[in-house]
Amino acid sequence: MKLSKVYLHPFAGIEEGTYEFNDGLNVLLGPNEAGKSTVFQAVMHGLLTTTSLTRAKVEDIMGSYFPAVGGDVIRVGLELKNSDNNIIRIQKTWKKGNRNGSASLKLPDGSEITDEKKVQDEIESLLPVSPATMRTIMLANQSELHQTMQDLKQKGEVRKELGNILRKNLMETGGVSLDRFKELLKQKYKDYFKRWNRQQQYPENNRGIKNPYKVGTGKVVEAYYKKEQLRLDLEEARRFEDDLDSLNEALSILIVKQEEKKQKFEELSPLKEGIQERQLKEQKFESAKEKKQRLLHISKKWPVFEDKMENLEPKLDAHRKKLAELQQEQQKAQNKQKAKQLKQRIAKIEELATQVEDAKKEFEEAQKVTQDDLKKLRELQSDIRQLQTKIEAAKLTVRIESDSDHAFSYTEAGQDEQNIESKKGQALEKTASGGFTLKTDGLLVKVFSGEGDLEDTIETLQAKKEEISGYLDDLEVESVQKAESYAGLYQKKENDLAQAKKAYKIELGDQELENLKEELETYGDLAKVRSSEEITEDIVETKTTLNQLKKEAGEADNKIEEWTEKYGSSDDVILELAETSKLLKDLKSDLEDLPSLPKGYESSGEFIKDVEQLDKDVQQFKEQIFEKKQERTQLEAEAPDTSSEELQKLREEAEAEFERINSRAETLARVRKKSLELIESMDSDTYKGLESSFVKWLEAMVGDRFSTIDMKSDMPTAFKTQEATSLTYNLLSHGTKDTVALAWRFALCEKFLPEGNGFVILDDPMVDIDPERRKDVVKAINQFSEQYQTLVMTCHPDHAEELSNSDFEVSQNIL
């Protein structure tokens, strides 16, 4: 990703400016305060700073770039070229206030993103490195150049990114035995991962920041709790700042509204007294006007109602007479209906009397078997079944064998007698229930089951059978089943007779049939009387007309009575009408002398109500403003000790520290798990590429001043001169520090940007370098810019000339 254009409108001291850049080396020349740093800051914020800032953050981060006089907006536009030379346009606008900024990103395919968060995420995804690395390595102004080495030591996120590129899980045992090495790894693992769940990437047992472990935690958990606590503190601080901004904004709105209401009230209140008097006069005028209309109406209607009263009386008498005649006729029609109903009732009673006689005859002819008879038969039948069951439960088997033919009489208990024959040489076998009797010539054999009581059971069974048979004979029925059928039929006939008698008694009631017939004779001949419906229709029509006449007469009489009570006579109404007309004329004259309503008001009442409401609104706004100020004072008393900007920095540092510790811990875990395999496959040359690149660029700039350079993983720690003097970075001169930092940045860029996909901004990189050494630095910068787009900003014309007079193509912008 390379930078092709920057345009500002406005930004800091530049009201309108466009700067174009080419591949390779670009020099931006201008004196101090000409805008070099402005362009540098514009590029950095255009890439890395969000436009969604709170009011306080806008002032803190971007406040110095707003115009000194007037203007509450700054804009930065960037054009970037990707590896296919397609243009990507970024437009960012910051406005004063609470989150009032905006951003847009136009991609090569023509699509545009305007959601601020998505814009920033997309920009960061387009960058070849992380934002932290971009700030530390790719973008460094003049004052920060010699601090590059120190920044790298402190900014874990940058070193982590570098390690991700270079590290190959290097481990040197340094002569330590493998067992000791494993023991050390075990202890280190505990130091890092105690109370930490690696799979969930969370403290064990879900003990998050709201329920933290107090003691016995490893470095990862401690770093996690620290960053999470700072996150909570930051959220709370942001909530406080947002609440305070909202409260101040609400207070400002209330003050503006109060002032608007107050100005309008002061403008209209002097007119209130005159308008109130106008309102009273207007009310009197409208009342008099209405009274005049009412008197005019009465003066016209009074004689009309008197004439109506005289004409309605004859009509009322005629309709009263007709109604009386119709009511008499209606009574005859009702008698006719009663006679008809009585005749129908007499016929029904005679029919019911016939039904009673028929039911009585059928009942007397029915076979008489009562429910008591049926109950007795069922009891006998149940007894017989029980006795038979008892007998059948005692099974006996008799086997008869004879030496000659014999005839026997065989009787099973409770059964009829049978004749059987036994043949010579054959066996005859019989099974009996309870017992049996065997009889032949001169011999009677009785056999019973049990101890002899079964004989009584058999005799009882026989007696029961004889009893039920005799009962059936008395009832003249063949069986119990037939008795049940006859009993049901007999009961039905009995019920039918009872129902017929009941119906006859209900219909007749306490009266006698002969008396009903005599009553029918008293109605006489009513054949010529009209139907009740026809007479009713005439009555309804007559009553309707009569009621209408009464209503008209009543209304006229009531009105005349009302007006007489109120005014006296129709002549008095005329006199009062004249007085009312004069009053209207006087009120109209008074209204012309009073102040008129202001424009926009339909009535005096509307105006007075508006003035009173304005007064209330002013007082209400005053109370609300007081409440808001109290609320603000209370809120400010609860302000966090640390601002959100400070907390944000602390949180970023804590998150970076957590990532560093967690990453180191995970690396340690992987080493511990596969130590034997990793020891054999260890690549000990991990940082040699970075070291050789750094040495290459440093020698190009300082020659052979240093004999050797000591490295500690990804950082140089000491520089040995030809005289064997070992110097740490802090002991180097400012010029040498800048040279070392520049060489280190070039080496890092070769690792971060292996394909030359990116750009680097150098703000006066040679300001502290002596002229002799500067020649080599110029060559190194030109050589570096062959592969990487390089933007050099300087206020020194000789520096710009030296860079431009090289054998390389240089693009120059002059401020």
Q: How far apart are CA 434 and CA 800, in angstroms?
A: 142
Give Cα 451 distance to the centre of its chain: 90
pLDDT at 692: 85
Q: Which has more confidence, 525 or 286?
A: 286
CB 41 within 8 A of CB 12: yes
Confidence band for 468, pLDDT divided at 50, 70 and 90: confident
Q: Residue 795: which of 40, 177, 126, 137 has the closest Cα?
A: 40
pLDDT at 681: 47
pTM: 0.41
Tell me the longest C-alpha to C-alpha distance in the chain.
170
pLDDT tens-place string over residues 578-633: 888 888 888 888 877 787 888 888 888 888 888 889 889 989 989 999 998 998 88
Q: How far apart are CA 261 and CA 258, in angstroms?
A: 5
pLDDT tens-place string over residues 682-691: 444 555 677 8
Torsion angles phi and psi, residue 272, rounded to 5: -60, -45
Q: How far apart are CA 148 and CA 734, in angstroms?
A: 12
Task: Report the SS3 class of residue 760.
Answer: strand
Q: Which two tokens stand for residue 502?
A: 């009941």
DSSP-assigned letter for residue 445:
E
Q: Which two tokens stand for residue 670?
A: 């992987």
Q: How far apart are CA 701 and CA 775, in angstroms?
A: 8
Torsion angles phi and psi, residue 299, rounded to 5: -65, -30
pLDDT at 174: 45
CB 760 within 8 A of CB 2: no
Query: How many residues belong to the chain?
Result: 815
Beta pairing class for 406-412 and 435-440: antiparallel
Q: Residue 605: which of 373, 333, 272 has the closest Cα?
A: 272
Confidence band for 206, pLDDT divided at 50, 70 and 90: very high
DSSP-assigned letter for residue 62:
I
Q: How far apart are CA 154 and CA 277, in angstroms?
A: 82
Q: Residue 39: which of 19, 22, 63, 59 has the closest Cα?
A: 19
Q: Which two tokens stand for residue 743?
A: 């060489």
Amino acid at 475: L
The DSSP-derived string for 491-534 is HHHHHHHHHHHHHHHHHHTTS-HHHHHHHHHHT---TTSPPHHH
Amino acid at 43: V
Which of 155-164, 243-252, 289-298, 345-354 shows the lowest mean pLDDT across its residues? 155-164
Which of 290-304, 459-473, 615-629, 795-809 shows the lowest mean pLDDT across its residues? 795-809
Give Cα 721 distance to the centre of its chain: 72
Positive or negative: CA dihedral 221, 227, 233, 238: negative
Q: How many other CB atoms sit within 10 Å of the CB of residue 534?
A: 11
For the chain, give the mean pLDDT.
Answer: 83
Amino acid at 538: D
**Cis-peptide, bond into residue 10, ω within 30° of zero:** yes
pLDDT at 413: 67
Query: How would you class 71 by CB atoms within 10 Å of its CB: exposed for 0-12, middle for 13-18, buried for 19 or more?
Result: exposed
Helix 771-785 vs helix 734-752: angle between axes, to the nearest 10 degrees?
A: 10
Query: How would you class 111 by CB atoms within 10 Å of its CB: exposed for 0-12, middle for 13-18, buried for 19 or more?
Result: exposed
pLDDT at 687: 58
Q: Which two tokens stand for residue 527?
A: 């054949």
Query: How would you class 103 by CB atoms within 10 Å of its CB: exposed for 0-12, middle for 13-18, buried for 19 or more?
Result: buried
Q: How far apart are CA 448 and CA 275, in angstroms?
A: 133
Residue 213 has pLDDT above 90, yes or no: yes
Q: How far apart are CA 776 and CA 698, in angstroms?
A: 10
pLDDT at 170: 38
pLDDT tens-place string over residues 16-71: 999 999 999 999 988 887 788 889 999 999 999 999 999 999 999 999 999 888 78
CB 262 within 8 A of CB 618: yes
Which of 70-74, 112-116, 448-452 shows the lowest mean pLDDT across its residues? 448-452
What percent of the chain has pLDDT above 70? 91
Q: How far apart are CA 748 and CA 730, in angstroms?
A: 20
pLDDT at 276: 78
Q: How many other CB atoms sit within 10 Å of the CB of residue 784?
A: 22
State the residue for tokens 């991962």.
193
DSSP-assigned letter for residue 212:
-
Amino acid at 754: P
Question: CB-based contacts of 722: which residues, under 8 Å, 6+ apart?
Answer: 704, 705, 706, 707
Q: How far apart are CA 617 and CA 262, in angstroms?
A: 9
Which of 14-28, 309-323, 535-549, 751-765 is predicted most confidently? 14-28
Please give the helix or strand (H or E) that residue 292 lies within, else none: helix 272-365
Confidence band for 204, pLDDT divided at 50, 70 and 90: very high
In a 13 Å sphere around the CA of 633, the CA atoms on its Cβ side amount to: 6
Which of 447-451, 516-520, 585-589, 663-667 shows the lowest mean pLDDT across its residues? 447-451
pLDDT at 249: 92
Q: How far is CA 561 from CA 302, 313, 564, 567, 705, in A?
A: 10, 17, 5, 10, 133
Q: How far apart are CA 15 and CA 44, in angstroms?
A: 18
Q: Helical H runs in 194-271? A: 219-268
pLDDT at 173: 43
pLDDT at 142: 46
CB 167 within 8 A of CB 193: no
Confidence band for 444, pLDDT divided at 50, 70 and 90: confident
pLDDT at 172: 41
CB 792 within 8 A of CB 718: no
pLDDT tens-place string over residues 151-168: 555 555 555 555 555 543
Which of 191-200, 277-286, 741-750 shows the lowest mean pLDDT across its residues? 277-286
pLDDT at 146: 54
Q: How far apart are CA 651 and CA 157, in angstroms?
A: 13
State the residue for tokens 């700030």.
135
Question: CB-based contacts of 486: which residues, under 8 Å, 6+ apart?
Answer: 366, 367, 368, 369, 475, 477
Beta pairing class for 2-8 and 726-727: unpaired
The DSSP-derived string for 358-427 is HHHHHHHHS----HHHHHHHHHHHHHHHHHHHHHHTSEEEEEEE-SS-EEEEEEETTS-EEEEEE-TT-E
CB 391 within 8 A of CB 433: yes
CB 781 within 8 A of CB 790: yes
DSSP-assigned letter for residue 597:
P
Please give the helix or strand (H or E) that residue 113 lies within, else none: strand 112-113
Q: Residue 756: which of 783, 778, 785 has the closest Cα?
A: 785
CB 412 within 8 A of CB 433: yes
Q: Which two tokens stand for residue 50?
A: 């969000």
pLDDT tens-place string over residues 689-710: 778 888 899 888 888 888 888 8
pLDDT at 88: 94
pLDDT at 535: 83
Mean pLDDT, residues 232-246? 90
Q: Which has more confidence, 678 or 712?
A: 712
pLDDT tens-place string over residues 749-800: 888 887 778 899 998 888 888 888 888 999 999 999 889 999 998 888 888 8
Q: Which two tokens stand for residue 22?
A: 């080419």
Amino acid at 464: K
Please give the helix or strand (H or E) that residue 444 lies within, else none: strand 443-448
Every domain of the chain and the residues it spans: 371-476
pLDDT tens-place string over residues 96-134: 999 999 999 999 999 999 999 999 999 988 888 888 888
